[in-house]
Structure 1
Amino acid sequence: MEIRGKVHEIGGIQQVTESFKKRDLIVAHAENPQFVEYIRFEATQDRVNIFDNLTVGEDIEISFNLRGRPWTNKEGVTTYFNSLVAWRVTKLAGTAAAAPQHNVGDMPPVDISSSGSDDDDLPF
């Protein structure tokens, strides 16, 4: 799965156990600009470094897997957890994937004066 958004927050590497580490990335996803969603992704083990070259405010596309697992406490109550596990991050600004932006001031002037031909069929 992939989504596009802006980097909102980059977490530090957390050494959870001696053999397990993870890192969080918060992405502001605005499918509807009025309702921005802040989505937490995690990278684990050797993938924690994929967030190293990111900066807050940068436009990205993030590829991830949706994971779910149950956990049963001492009383026998089962709770379910979901995780969005990132495996690739692509910067969008300044890449070929980003569409070029054109401002009116960037466009050359157009000569709309008569070209010398009188066979203009416009009524005005």
Structure 2
Amino acid sequence: MEVQGKIKLIDETKTFGNNGFRKREMVVTTEEQYPQHIMIEFVQDKCDILNAYQVGQQVKVSINLRGREWVNPQGETKYFNSIQGWRIENLQPAGNGAPEMPPMPPEDAFEPANDFKEDDHDDLPF
């Protein structure tokens, strides 16, 4: 499955327990009539994927839905869902999060070439 939208938040990596379980969360805001703020968690080695991304970027995140069953001390069964990310694709127009090129200035912003000679030789093939 995939979630597409703009990165709203990227949290720090958190470590839990004696075995060093790592988790990092991000929030992606969908762009639809009723935008949704979807929290996606990345675990273990997948936490480092988020290092290459910033708040505000347009992304497509590949996810897995996870469900768990837990019995509390009173014997009641509880169910929990989580959304785990495992890949991110950048959807920025300039690619790789690079800023877009600034627009070209209008041609009248340049001074005209006064010393141009038609018969000057150049090495252009056309």
**What TM-score, normalized to structure 1?**
0.72
Give the structure 1 partner of residue 47 of structure 2: 48
The answer for unaligned runs of 5 or more in structure 2 is: 96-126
Give the structure 2 partner of residue 119 of structure 1: none
RMSD: 1.0
Aligned length: 93
Aligned pairs (5 A) from 1:1-124:
1-19=1-19, 20-32=21-33, 35-93=34-92, 94-95=94-95
Shift of 1:61: 0.3
Q: Distance in 2 between matches of 1:51 and 1:38?
A: 17
The answer for unaligned runs of 5 or more in structure 1 is: 96-124
Shift of 1:53: 1.1
Shift of 1:86: 0.3
Give the structure 2 partner of residue 99 of structure 1: none
Q: Distance in 1 between matches of 2:57 and 2:18?
A: 32
Q: Distance in 2 between matches of 1:52 and 1:15?
A: 16
**What TM-score, normalized to structure 2?**
0.71
